[in-house]
Chain A
Amino acid sequence: MSVDSMNPDLVNKKFKIIGTRPPRPDGIDKVTGRARYGADFTMPGQLIGLVLRSPHAHALIEKIDTSKAEKLLGVKAVITSKDLPDLTGGDRGMFDILENCMARKKALYDGHAIAAVAAVDAATARKALKLIDVKYKVLPHVTDVDEALKPDSPVIHSHVFTEGIEPAPTKPSNWNKRAEYGHGDVDAGFREADVVISRSYKTEQTHQGYIEPHSVSASVSPDGMAEMWVCTQGHFVYRNQCATLLGLDANKLRVTASEIGGGFGGKTHVWAEPLALALSRKANRPVKLTMTRDEVFRCTGPTSSTSVDVKIGAKKDGTITAAYAELRYQGGAFPSNWAEFGAMTSWACYDLKNVKSVSKDAIVNRPKCAAYRAPSAPAAAFAIESTVDEVAKAIGMDPIDFRIKNAAKEGTKSSYGPVYGPIGIGPTLEAAKNHPHMKAPLGKNMGRGMACGFWFNFGGQTCVDVNITPDGNVNVAQGTIDVGGARAAIAMAVAEELGVAYENVRSVVADTSSLGHNDMTDGSRGTFSSSMAAVFAARNAITVLRNRAAKIWEIPVDEVEWKDGAAHAKGTHHGNRTPLSLKEIAAQAGNTGGPMAGHAEITADGAGVSFATHIADVETDPETGRSLVKRYTVIQDAGKALHPSYVEGQYQGGAAQGIGWALNEEYVYGKDGRLQNAGFLDYRIPVCSDLPFIDTQILEIANPHHPYGVRGVGETSIVPPLAALAIAVSNATGVRQTHLPMSPPRVLKSLKSK
């Protein structure tokens, strides 16, 4: 169903429920401990699954002897890659997922799964793991992105030849792809410039840091009927992937999504799920597999560490004449495109005549990277915005005015190719310029930074069912996972359309057997697309309700309209009939045609793009190098905020993650290629005392491609903070910070070099 067929006048409609702040349906369960997350589920007769993992960053697996483990009393199944044959049919992407779930010929990173056991309890499973004998031949490893791109680095995959360079290489390497975006002539642009600034930046690897470790309970019967309870951002995609990898019929694998304790892109990928299913199939009993925190850090999907070079040329009047970036990202132990996505987003905020971004994607002996909120954009924005700031200073222009002068607008040719339609970067910059934060005085050792960010938003496949209950209430079945209030937002949209009270509508996340396919909750698409589908499903239900009222009144259906939660007879001929409420029609459903429902199955495209501007004040102690965030403001366009508290929450959460990424969080790999800090003590995410209140300003520039004007909001807020904080600390210390995180030792080192 195309959005363009819907009435655009509704974009500016006066809402009764949309924009208010009603309580969410899962609120009481979550504050009383009743809500069931991944690990809160038990299947009768279940076994406990545990995974044996490689202690080496890179090694040939010469032999795995599981015989002693299999003989241990209480062990019901042991699996290796032999139990996961290649059923991917030549799909390299799926094969990489399979190999990442369990090593085949080589261990590719510290923590790579080698084997797994299912036993009657955790203690027995742990003993069994110790009884598995693995003979490794340790190979040289590489964990740094720039080292991996050197011609002499140890090659990790012998089938990988760099894509995108001419002539095509004849030798395999860890450089899996080169890509280029841009237009114009950057060399000519640099020649025109009065000021040219070149700088190189590095960011270390970070993890999404969700508090809930991955957990799955799986049950596979010999007839191929299977069930899974799992915390995931997309249970339909998990179902489809697991079915492929295990050779199960997808329709026989019923996946129920538990409540999810955070994902941020890290639960869009399977790791333990195929292993739990394989163990369950072999043991013919349910298997529950929960990762430890150590495993989450070591063996799931962190984001890339990066190395980026930026060069900007500008005239004295502030016009950027040329912009160039080379972005080198590592995607972990498998080929990826993360640097390419960084190249696509890097200059998106600006209107540039001459621009070029080159990306190099590298393979290293680290876990396979997954998306983290707005994947690839934060590190690119850090490098670009820091350099933009430096150029503005060199010209002597205010940093906001410099950005306003060069900002993309409707009609700008984007750096990734297409010409922009109406976009919101101008309004966020103007709002930042006029925000009281910009005028607040700064104290001793303090610095201020502002930065912009951009992210694509998606629609994707979505379906929603609206069912009217016999007592005149409304049940909604959605297929997009609720990570932070989406069920409330969907219920609000349905209540708004039907004209009933919010309290009369309940939305649940349906399992994969009860609803058609729904794409992941990622790409900021959850509320955008499921609210769109919910609106269409409700309108579909209204058609049914009008038909039923027409039958009850024995009048033609085109003389029935739906208004304020009731059917009204139109026209002078039928005008004095008392309206029929939804409840009254529902009471007569049995004799007017049966149960009443509305459906919508859509692909929601045209989600548009999203812009944000952030302002950060930090105080950096010159003796310890420690930075404290004293004030933080997020200004972002939401199109239409269905539930403003939840939109604010997304802005604040993304900003907090960006703050951690900028100031403290990093993966520390030793010379042995092993992760040194796989826990929350030494992988330091922001705690309550690290942060101030985070101010938010929601701009509402309606998205014409959604019935209520909604834009995706979940991701963009993680894009500007790295840059805003780097600029702030640079201003506080007087030294340009080019390596994240700006941990105290790193900042002190930069001060010494001053």
Chain B
Amino acid sequence: MTTVKLTDEEKRMLNGEAGKVAQICMEALVEMAEIAGAENLVDLDGTGDMHTPGLEITPYHKITIEDLRELVAAGGRFKIPTFANKSPFPEQPPIDGWEQCNICAYRQPENRHDDPEFHKKALHEEEFELLKKMGMLTSQSCANYLTMTYWPTIGQHCSWFESSQIPYCNAILGARTNFDGCFATCFLGKAPNYGMHITENRYGRILVKTDRLIQTDLEWDVFGYAVGCEVRCSVPVLTGTAKPNTTQLQKFNSAIHTGGAVQMYHIPGTTPEAPTLEFAFGGRKPEREVLIGERELRAAYEYLNYHTSDVVDMVYLGCPHLNIVDLMRLARKLEGKKVKVPLWIMTAPWLYNAAKEQGYVKIFADAGATLLSGACLAAMGAVPEGVRCIAVDSAKQANYITGCYPEPDKMLEVCYGTTDECIDAALTGHWRGEWR
């Protein structure tokens, strides 16, 4: 028997009295709780983020398509508002722009994203429709908070997935999530009660100082990566920065959970659980102080750049997915221009339509660029054939995209810098970025 304390209702679910799917989900949650050392489960009153793979909660807790059909026919619904994180299926097809996406999923030649047959298969229509009937909302973004239009509020318990969204939920929204969004948590509206659900674990532990005012998009991205590398799984309190805007928060949150596994941080005077420095630390002294200054930032910038040549074959923007203001600014910069090398831009599906209405999709197309939605280059596991060097403005993408090409004779090179440097590279085919 499990050591996790369950309510009578939860015990009945575990015994199968609430149906087969509820039983599988409860078994998965109990195992998660045991591994995590959680005493019990917490009832979720916030939102859920369902990540791939949808029905395989774990290899030992799988729901079949037949189970799902029966569940939906019997009126089964997600207990909490549930948003889809990118595609809930392993192929990770783009939702818009897939026709232009001349890459092979996970480098398998038969799985071309621009092949209509593969695309259709990758959408898993029946399963997708069933999940929608259960209430899954098709925001399909690694930055769901951009379009979900229904945010959890301070203190609400959530179950999200996706590394960049975890600190966004905890630190920016003040809601509470561990890294566990899946079918089981969303269907039962429960999650193991540990980590970020518990107030004590949310206080700051490490004081971070900087000797360079963090204020540009690139500075926030590099700062996030460097802080993550330094503090790892801890809770940093950041001082000496300017106030971040939305784009910068997106960048910072994705970078800090790439360099490290930071679920929570505080910026006193800016983030909701840190009205003051003392409050951020819960009245205790920091365990240690670290300086992430000019020297550390430059080292991180140089680590993220990984290229021997300045010849760029492709430019990728939109990690994490671009917000509508980013798209507007990008359209302004590309209007009337023509790219020399492919420029792919990624956003959330629900913003693609807004971008279309605003005329940005046409501006991008006229410039020779491609707007895609709902996917991620690294998650698709490949770049177009022949690309040896890619330019990005994201520490997260710079960090992951090379992992798709680990063979010594095929290593992918990455130029990392500002959005403007990436646009310049797209227009000229050359990298002229530098740390300034």
The finding on whether chains A and B are genuine partners in a shared complex, rather than unrelated, reads no
* Chain A interface residues toward B at CB < 8 A: none
* Chain B interface residues toward A at CB < 8 A: none
